[in-house]
Amino acid sequence: MLFLTTLLLAATAVQAHYTFPRLVVNSKAEEKDWSVTRVTKNKDSKQGIENPTVADIRCYQSGNAANVMTVPAGATIHYISTQQVNHPGPTQYYIAKVPSGASVTSWDGSGAVWAKISTTMPKVDANKQLTWPAQNEYKTANATIPKATPDGDYLLRVEHIALHMASQANKAQFYLACSQIKVTGGGSGTPGPLVAFPGAYKSTDPGILVNLNTIASAPDSYKPPGPAVWSG
Ligand SMILES: *[C@@H]1O[C@H](CO)[C@@H](O)[C@H](O)[C@H]1NC(C)=O
Ligand SMILES: [Cu+2]
């Protein structure tokens, strides 16, 4: 009986992890799971990635998606999460323009091509609890596709970094997905600085190898990993 209880607890712990199978653009959700969002290797296990230098840190994908979602520049986006995003940590979004001659339904997103368009910062609430935007919701934090984003096909990458174990090396957990999008009505900005995945993060980055107590004592000093945000 004790053994069974242990198994059930283990199963519950796995269920507490999450994937992001549906993109929502201006309140309109992707029609079904994994139709414009590339199916991730943790679709069933829900396990995050712990080493931010592995190839899977780019899209964690086990395949491309069939469809492409139109996203007007300036749109508000988020992702539906399969479980509550219960772990503390930032949510970040990146875009990568598909090179001419390549297709958004097959391009792999390799090279220094990714611009960060959004991140989130922690707060300490009235009860002295450390909280993050969208923490404990069944969705990721909102972001805006910058109005100056040039028209064209892009990969959109969402990432939630769970920091509850992050005081140990390679124990932060990365939950992420990439979607195939077409930006319309955009501008003539130049997204950047551009980074590669893997390459953008090291296990020892101060936003990845970090103690939650340190963040709670100075939430504004938290430094999300990766480049500066491009906001258009
Ligand atoms: C997130 O975006 C949705 C849809 O645009 C909006 O209804 C909601 O109020 C936004 N939430 C926050 C916290 O800004
Ligand atoms: Cu977890």
Domain locations in the chain as residue ranges:
18-221
In degrees, to the nearest 5, what angle opens at C-alpha 130 toward C-alphas 126 and 132? 110
In this structure, what DSSP letter does residue 229 have? Answer: P
pLDDT tens per residue across span 73-93? 999 999 999 999 999 999 999
pLDDT tens per residue across span 149-207? 999 999 999 999 999 999 999 999 999 999 999 999 999 999 999 999 999 999 999 99
Task: Give the residue with greater pLDDT, 12 vs 20.
Answer: 20
Distance in angstroms (rounded) separating the CA atoms of residues 52 and 205: 10
Mean pLDDT taken over the chain: 94
Question: Is 76 a pocket residue for ligand 1 (Cβ < 6 Å)?
Answer: yes
* CATH top class, domain 18-221: mainly beta
Question: Is 142 a pocket residue for ligand 1 (Cβ < 6 Å)?
Answer: yes
pLDDT tens per residue across span 207-225? 999 999 999 999 999 999 9
Among 142, 145, 158, which is best to mutate for testing ligand 1, by the most ligand atoms less than 8 A from CB? Answer: 142
* Closest CA relative to residue 217, chosen from 132, 130, 135, 134: 130
